[in-house]
Amino acid sequence: MSSPDYSLYRDTPAVAVLDNRGLTVREIAYQRHPDKPGETDIRIARHQFNAHGFLTQSIDPRLFALQQSNSSVKPNFSYLTALSGEVLKTTSVDAGASMALNDINGRPHLAISASGVVRSWQYEGNTLPGRLLSITEQPASGSAQIAERFVWAGKTDEEKKYNLAGECAHHYDTAGLEQVTSIALSGTPLSVTRQLLPDNKEADWQGADESAWKDLLAAESYTSRNSADATGAPLTSTDARGNIQRLAYDIAGQLTGSWLKLKGGSEQIIVKSLTRSAAGQKLREEHGNGVVTTWSYDPQNQWLTAIKTERPAGHRAGAKVLQDLHYIYDPVGNVLQVTNAAEASRFWRNQKVVPENTYRYDTLYQLVSASGREMADRGQQSTTLPAAKVPLPVNDNAYVAYTRGYTYDRGGNLTQIRHHVPATGNGYTTDITVASRSNRAVLSSLTEDAEKVDALFSAGGQQKQLQPGQNLNWTPRDELRKVTPVTRDGQPSDSEVYRYDGGSQRIIKTTTRLTGNSSNTRRVVCLPGLELRTLKNGDTLKESLQVINIGEAGRAQVRVLNWESGLPTGISDNQLRYSYDNLLGSSELELDGDGQIISQEEYYPYGGTAVWSARSKVEAEYKIIRYSGKERDASGLYYYGYRYYQPWVGRWLSADPSTTDELNLFCMGRNNPVTFFDNGGLIPVAITHQSEKQGYIYSPLRSSDMVIQALGKNITRYNKGKSLYPVIVADTNALLEFEKNIVLETLSINERIRGLREPIQNIESRLRQGGLFTQERLIEFITPKMYNESMQKIATLSNQRNVLNKMKVINNNEGKALRNLSSEKDKLYILGHGLSGYDLLGADENLTQGLITSESLAMQLTAGHLPANFKDIRVTACYSANATAPVSFTEEELLRTSSVFKERTVGWRSLFGLLTTETAPFALSLSRALKRRGFSQVTVTGYSGAGVVFSQYQYQTRRIQGVADDQRSSDKTVRLKF
């Protein structure tokens, strides 16, 4: 591609305007389109704070402009806070009004959703640990239901035998019962049984008799079993049908291989080998089908530049490059071009069709145009999946080049998609109608009147129609319950019905379609490592299929299709399907166990299939994972985990339940879907930095020092022009205190800046009064050294203030943030003060306030729903890698002081034998505590010496008293992994 012209971005800074308290009251952005470089749209988002410094409302540029002529237009967000700053009520134009109250211990007590559902939490009494017992929900027009029950194991010999004492043994949730029957000493669940409610029953666990709750369940149960080594690392997992997956690791705890043994069969290799760089980046991976994938990175910034998948020389199916993706980025990481060098250019109707995609952006980094290739007979994108081209390989006239243009309004809403095919002159336009007073929007086929859009959504921001005549139904928890694609009078309607567990993750999908005089019903039950798929015609079972999902398969998503009955003609039983993805995670290439191509698929930027080919029609029907690595439902929606996505509209189906990303709660990937990936439907993350893990900061403690530490971690990134790490806090009260401390620190910085400026301003004023002022004379009067030092300090403090205002703080209430972290792509920094040999983190340097042990921190992370397969935790506290204080930075000294220190106590205790006490680094203690709770793959990094919060402008350092030179925190000798 030709060298891009970046002059478009000249004079388009991101500007934050602060009031005299240091609070951001305006955010100014300069939007310029590459097709209209001479036109600049200045967009101002406005924020208001009360006298206590708490945010009361925020409004985007579009709604503010409307508000000037129509006072009934409300801001995007309004907040009602208590005197303490706790948010009691949130009003959103997108998600409606909701209220929440915590009890005196900071636990959720009462909540009222925008749709009027009243939810309350019940706990044990004061004489007990205060554990959660039940959750009650009452819809606005219905009776109260007990949606969840928690039964905690006691201390009987039988419960102790299986390590259940004090654990939640029975969880009755919205799907049925999840029962833990055995736990390892490391905390890893060894046996878990799931029973489901009948499809026609809703969860309502009334009464106090557990046997009555069990009577509500369906008879069939599903038991999953695991085994683990002494550290808690999983060794085997046996699914509910008896299929066994086995894993192996190297000395560093990294995966080296995985195997699968189908019930009654022999073991087969899934992952044969993996090679990583010294930085932990994947370099080479070989699968059981003999296919090899290699990765290449830019040596300057370590961004991924190429992914190559091939059958190497000597492969039984013959050597062949199957996929060879090359990426080109702009300086900030936006994807400009993706080329598949494994595919040849084609020609049709004198048009060259190249296997590449190109992208252009405006100055807000919104995608404004794209080009690629699609099937010649693709037609207009809709909810329907196009038919696959069969067989492989396809001929030259199968593909044509396309271009797409995207238009957005001033609130970040996608309003139009223009599609054009130059070879045929064909094209189409998709128009989207945005509500006049919110960011809710629908296809213009539903309405072209902006005043009618809000009526097509529920009070909480859930869309009520997918297409004209296709109704959507939602649960009291704002989860999509039912899609009705075809409504019939006098006959059953077509439908797709979903059921979710207590964590809002889908566990059952039932699709019903009328065929002739009977109905076909497809049912999917999602279990750990296994999907049970059945097809019935009326009451007659036509097909029973197990889909075994391999949990650890390296780069590929691997599935095995095992038919219990109803094997279709033209497909082999126990078929292995290796799904290879692109940088976004979209499944582009499917291979079988012999390394032969099953299918190939390419996607439009906002999702939806552009190219789709397969070696047989029947095999194409069994592809499950598609765009972004997500399942595509019969409705055409992609299921992301917490929300559903409409690729033909480029929008989410419902408002963001976490409200952590921008003022627009429906925007997909910040209108940049080729650069940002949203794993669960909550938080978009840049994919261009996958070689550099996305960092998050977790603050388990509450104090102003935690704000200082988060600032120190982010200031080096700010000075390098990198994105800031978000800060995650445990709950609403922690969020309020953290935000309050940000305000206080900002005020303190303002005072220090004022103290530096006032003497200079006073001297300048005196010089002006005497008519003597020049800049040179001012500097000479103060002395160049003092002037430059003052200016440098002011610049440094201003940067710190900017970081405080830009730093995002996320509430982990109900696990909404931690549970969404990726074990492969994310790292988590733990804040706190520490001392060598202390199993404590403190909120202050002397460890006298807000203390937390490694055991308590592990419990907090577990209760906060950090995924059990999470790998990378880093404790930034002083001496977190030291059992005793080091006296130098030599490798021998740091290894010595990081070793566990054991001491035998004698004296009167010897009456009962010698007492051995153990002193370990905090990072090691945390690693052990997490592994006891099932975090078998976790590595906890500790740091030697005392951490220097504001070490340098470009990197952070560690310090040892009496040692002249600090050491970089990134040095391998300073960082120790446990």
Higher pLDDT, 931 or 73: 73
* Helices H / strands E in the chain, number of each: 11, 62
Q: What is the mean pLDDT of residues 400-412?
A: 97
- Domain containing residue 821: CATH number: 3.40.50
State the pLDDT at residue 687: 76
Q: Which residues pair with 778 in a beta bridge?
A: none
Give the closest residue to 114 by CA, choosing from 481, 483, 457, 471: 457
Q: Is the per-residue pLDDT at 914 higher than 60?
A: no
pLDDT digits (tens, 9 = 90+) for 268-302: 999 999 998 876 778 999 999 999 999 999 888 77
What pLDDT does 901 receive?
A: 57
pLDDT tier at 912 (50, 70, 90 boundaries)? very low
* pLDDT tens profile 363-373: 999 999 999 99
Please check whether residues 492 and 521 belong to one and the same domain.
yes
720 and 587 within one domain: no
Structure confidence at residue 964 (pLDDT): 66
DSSP track, 78-101: EEEE-TT--EEEEEETTTEEEEEE
71-106 pLDDT per residue, tens:
999 999 999 987 766 788 999 999 999 998 988 776
Checking DSSP bridges between strand 826-830 and strand 872-875, what pairing results, if any?
Answer: parallel
What mean pLDDT is predicted for residues 719-730? 83
**779 in a structural domain:** no
Higher pLDDT: 761 or 630? It is 630
Element (DSSP H or E) covering residue 749: helix 732-769
460-465 long-range contacts, CB within 8 A, separation 24+: 460/95, 460/96, 460/98, 460/113, 460/114, 460/115, 460/654, 460/655, 461/92, 461/94, 461/95, 461/96, 461/114, 461/654, 461/655, 461/665, 461/666, 462/653, 462/654, 462/655, 463/653, 463/654
When pLDDT is cut at 50, 70 and 90, the band that residue 916 belongs to is very low
Q: Is residue 389, in this structure, part of any structural domain at all? A: yes
Pairwise CA distance, residues 89 & 107, whole Å: 17
Say whether both 609 and 704 belong to one domain.
Answer: no
pLDDT tens digits, residue range 630-649?
Answer: 999 999 999 999 899 999 99
Query: Does 639 fall in a domain?
Result: yes
* Owning domain of residue 299: 266-686
pLDDT band at 789 (very low <50, low <70, confident <90, very high): confident
Domain identity same for 437 and 506: yes
Report d(CA 369, CA 735) in Å as an integer: 39
- Where would I find the beta strands (DSSP E) of 153-215? 168-172, 176-183, 189-196
- Mean pLDDT for the chain overall: 89
Q: How much is the pLDDT for 698?
A: 96
Let me know if residue 865 belongs to a domain. Answer: yes
The model's pLDDT over 32-56, given as tens digits with 9 standing for 90+, comes to 999 999 999 999 999 998 887 778 9
Cα(716)–Cα(2) distance, rounded to whole angstroms? 34
Domain boundary among 624, 659, 686: 686
- Is residue 449 a part of any domain in this protein? yes
- Which of 635, 670, 686 marks a domain boundary? 686
Same domain, 659 and 716: no
Q: Has residue 256 been placed in a domain?
A: no
Q: What is the pTM of this model?
A: 0.81
pLDDT at 308 over 80: yes
Q: Please, what sign has the CA dihedral across residues 407, 413, 416, 421?
A: positive
pLDDT for 189 equals 85
Residue range 681-706, pLDDT digits in tens: 877 877 765 546 789 999 999 889 99
658 with 712, same domain? no
Tell me the pLDDT tens digit for each residue of 593-640. Answer: 999 999 999 999 999 999 999 999 999 999 999 999 999 999 999 999
- Least confident window among 7-11, 482-486, 899-903, 915-919: 915-919
Residue 712: is its pLDDT beyond 80? yes
Distance of CA 70 to the CA centre of its chain: 38
* Arithmetic mean of pLDDT, 752-766: 88
475 plus 596 within the same structural domain: yes
pLDDT tens-digit map of 848-900: 888 899 988 998 898 888 988 888 999 999 888 888 888 887 777 777 877 76
- Is there a domain that residue 961 lies in? yes
Task: Please tell me whether residues 704 and 649 are part of one structural domain.
Answer: no
Q: What is the phi/psi pair of residue 744, to 5°?
A: -65, -40
Q: What span, in angstroms and rounded, lies between the C-alpha atoms of 868 and 478?
A: 26
Number of domains in the chain: 2
* 484, 519: one domain: yes
**How far are the Cα atoms of 41, 202, 492, 534, 777 from residue 495, in angstroms, in the given order?**
45, 18, 9, 16, 81
pLDDT at 952: 43
Q: Answer yes or no: do 610 and 720 share one domain.
A: no
How many angstroms separate the CA atoms of 671 and 625, rounded? 23
Same domain, 856 and 922: yes
Q: Place 806 in a pLDDT band, splitting at 50, 70 and 90.
A: confident
Q: At 281, which CATH number? A: 2.180.10.10
Instruction: Report the Cα 83 to chain-centroid distance in Å.
Output: 33
pLDDT higher than threshold 50 for residue 951: no
Residue bearing the bigger pLDDT, 423 or 232:
423
Per-residue pLDDT band at 740 (split at 50, 70, 90): confident
Does 433 fall in a domain?
A: yes
Same domain, 553 and 698: no
Last residue of a domain, one of 631, 662, 686: 686
What whole-number percentage of the chain has pLDDT above 90?
58
